[in-house]
Structures are given as structure tokens and as C-alpha cells.
A and B are shown apart, each in its own frame.
Chain A
Amino acid sequence: MTPERFQALLDSCGADLRRWPEAERDAARALLASDSAALRAAHAEAAMLDRDLDACAIAPPGAALIERIASAAGSTGSAGRARSWWRLEPFWPRAGWALTGMVGAVAGALVVSVALGDNYPAAAADWQKRATAFSDRAADWSEE
């Protein structure tokens, strides 16, 4: 990279090399690390303007705007479906916990049924044998 190209990118993209074209960043970094006082001074000047630009912050969206957008979505056809999905989003983590609980309960029942297998009356043991296919399935799950 020539000093002229470095200066051109500094003038257009600012001092933060992450905003520079990706293909030219390494060369720019190497050039900046060299002993060119003029380039470092130009870089510092560009950084000053960047700090000014960063001072122009925009307030984040308020809850009222988010609610208005949700309401606006509800008033259009397919948007209503999208809104329903958006509304349901908080439901999914809770559904996940509920499903985990159900799986735990089934697994617990299987462990108890296997542990008590030898002490059960014959009829109950027959029933348990019929249930072993389900138990095997449980073993398969544990390997997944």
C-alpha cells in the first residue's frame, strides 16, 4: 500500500481500520506501524473526527414504539401471522422447560420400573416385559 492510498482511505473511511476494505487492512496496519510521523499524525486527525461522529448518538427505541409496531403488524394480513409468532416467542423457552420436565418424569418412571422388576408379581412382571421395548427406546435416547 502506498502512503497516498493510505491517506485516501483515511480520508474516506476514517481512522478505524475495521471500516476499511478488508483486503487492504493488513497492509494499512503494517504501514501505520512504520516510522512515518506524517501518517501517524494524519491517522490521529482522522481519529479526532471519528470521536466527534461517535458523539452523535441516537436514543434507543422506546417501549411505546415497539408496541406500536406490534399493533401495526396486527392490522395487516400476513403481518398478523408474523405478529402472532412474535408474540409467541416468549412462550418457547417455557415450553422447553415443560418438555424437559416431562422427559425427566418418564425417565424416572422407567428407572423405578427396572429397579423393582424382580419383586413384582408375575402379572406385573409380564406387564413390565411388555414395557421393555419402551425401556430400550429410553436407552437409545441416552446415547444420542
Chain B
Amino acid sequence: MFKMTPTILKNFLTEKATRLYPFEIREPYAHVRGELVNNSETCNFCGICAAKCPSQCIKVDKKSATWECEPFECVYCGICVDACPQESLSQKELYRKPSAERQHIIIKGEIRPEKPDAPVA
């Protein structure tokens, strides 16, 4: 009947299993897949991330150089980060804060002139 008692007594002497969040926050582990960020300076708006995204939350328009993301639809799988040829996409080590309002992230880059066609020999 008292099989649990030693475990309970031990628990008085060990550290707490829970934290007083948000006053006490644990350091995040390295490489945790948190908030998705895109660097507009390095992004060439190729659209590979939009094609690979399993939740289809990314839209890219190369002509107007815009990168759009619906963070509520993102599942934080990190497939786009792995696929990005420019290494422009990255994930922070902290999760996105909860929000009551729908957010829509739009990143506008510099419209680059299209490369001229190679001269016909």
C-alpha cells in the first residue's frame, strides 16, 4: 500500500520537474526549428522553397521580388531551409509567440534585371 511513498519522499529532495513559465525560461537547444526568417538581401526569389513546402504556406513572385509566408500555416518542418540554394532561409531557436491576430509576412527585395540572352553563335 505504501509502495509509492519512497518515490514521493525522494521528490521532496530533488529539483522541481516544472518551471514557472514565463518568469523562468529554459535555454533553447541548438538547432531547434523555431520561427522561420528570410533574409531579403540574399534571397534571389527562385521559388524552390514554395515548391517544396509541404504545407504550401510560402508564395514567391520572382517578377515583383516578393516572398510571402503565412506563419499560422507553417508547420516548422525546415524543408525550405534545407532546400534553399542561397542559404537565405533560416530558423530561429525560439518558437513564434502566440498571437490572436492572423499575421502575413511579406518580404520585398530588389527587382533584379533579367539576364540578357546569350548571343547566338
**Do A and B share a complex?**
no
List residues of A whose CB falls within 8 A of some B CB. Answer: none
